[in-house]
Structure 1
């Protein structure tokens, strides 16, 4: 397998310790969990998505573990502005704050709470199971542009996390880029559901949810590949990554880094394991393989 050199890494203007980033929504609601992931080898961490008001989320069941992934419908539970106090415990660490809102003004307001604390913002315009937020913003190019532009006013790097639940993800990627995004994160979960044949009802309390894990890795690779062809800003791959080979494949599709989420539930030290496999003293520079799978 191709291995990478252990060089200083910057992704879209954000200094990170390596190419591996904890995805939003996974162990992201308290400083101790985020610090644990950094100590275990994550190059940076993304917080749980924080919104304009506290939310308790959907009624359970909220998470279902499947044979090839995880399906969830959390409903964006978060402590809202109170999270500022938690983030203060992570001063100086490579922390990207995930934020959401129902319109550009709300995105701007929430970003302002963290403007002097976050290394960057990740805009959640892609959660598939929270009415009025997430994908209801991220399926509209004009709204994506406006929300990105609003957060850029805080003069911090802005990453925009896209939904795969659209006809053409490149149209959304271009809207984020035109709004001033510094990077695109692709992808969030795939809208899905399962039904309990014993109970004769959906297994999730919200009926529908988002599918993550190994099952969506090919979808994520395809989205990264398409966005690399359509956009000129960096791409961070996300979706089903669970080994060093997956990281290399994402990079060949066009990703400059990757986020890892669901795999952490089964293997809390996954960042350390992948780092040990991914890097070598005689490895190649990442730039040599980013986008190399594209035919020119």
Structure 2
């Protein structure tokens, strides 16, 4: 049996399979389906400084190869997370990573400061796909300058592993990755959802209340895989692959492209046990291919 342990900065994961933020709740919602501690880590749903109701319904729509969502980062804020959610997360031995979102740099910093005090939170994942209200609503992650600015500000107050989650809605994702690396990021995760929309032809209305939303699922995997491959060749920090992973084969593609670990998202809604199946499938692949460790597989793409 191959060795599955991987390292992301100071984090040692028992295996390279994690869950993606917003698709696995806080972990305990899945306790009846799987052994959560068997995962490499869980990324819990986004936390903001203040309570957020999220967007109006409808805010989810199925597509032929995935789903659109415009949930709007619904959560009860960092104070509630610290007092009500965090105590329930302490039972897990797997790594718990908190996704941090905000609308201003100060709001990101406020959440990161509190997360830094919570010893069972091993890392934060900075969601820079959020609109910057002080810059006309343009997402932090769509420009090198704003991506660097928010990363640098959070780095000053957060001492543990800092992962920055990159938006795919850019033309040069490698430049964004370099900007956050230079600003103190310990790792990058990508991709977040692609901007998309769907229309009900009978009512002639958008299927989402916000008109557009984030596309996830199998449809985005080729784009995600290409971006992971590009970024892995650009930065020196670890890369975490996300986007349309629904099988062990999908996950292995990301590892071969240079990802040190992967996150499984939309597939959790369809099959709550998919992450365990993926871990088992990776193990089988490594044995068949003769890899002694999953680390031997990372970046092992043959291009000639």
Alignment coverage as a number of residue pairs: 290
Q: Which residue of 2 aligns with 1:277?
A: 281
For residues 135 and 223 of structure 1, what CA distance do their matches in structure 2 show? 21
- 1:4-51 C-alpha deviation (Å, 9 max, x unpaired): 8234332222122211101001132x4522656771542210011111
Give me the TM-score of the superposition, normalised by structure 2: 0.89
Please provide the CA RMSD for this pair: 2.2
Give me the TM-score of the superposition, normalised by structure 1: 0.91
Alignment of 1:41-56 (within 5 A): 41-56=38-53
Alignment of 1:21-40 (within 5 A): 21-28=18-25, 30=26, 32-33=28-29, 39-40=35-36
Alignment of 1:1-296 (within 5 A): 5-28=2-25, 30=26, 32-33=28-29, 39-40=35-36, 41-81=38-78, 82-85=80-83, 86-91=85-90, 93=93, 94-117=95-118, 118-127=121-130, 132=133, 136-153=139-156, 154-280=158-284, 282=287, 284=291, 285-293=293-301, 295=303
* Runs of at least 5 residues in structure 1 that lack an aligned partner in the other structure: none
For residues 63 and 181 of structure 2, what CA distance do their matches in structure 1 show? 35
Secondary structure of the structure 1 residue equivalent to 2:103? coil
For residues 195 and 7 of structure 1, what CA distance do their matches in structure 2 show? 43
- 1:146-165 C-alpha deviation (Å, 9 max, x unpaired): 21122222211100000110
> Does the C-alpha gap of structure 1 residues 102 and 131 become closer, same or farther in structure 2, counting only changes over 3 Å?
closer
For residues 120 and 55 of structure 1, what CA distance do their matches in structure 2 show? 23
For residues 138 and 248 of structure 2, what CA distance do their matches in structure 1 show? 29
* Runs of at least 5 residues in structure 2 that lack an aligned partner in the other structure: none
> Does the C-alpha gap of structure 1 residues 65 and 75 become closer, same or farther in structure 2, counting only changes over 3 Å?
same
Secondary structure of the structure 2 residue equivalent to 1:192? strand
Runs of 4+ in 1 over 4 A off after TM superposition: 34-38, 280-283
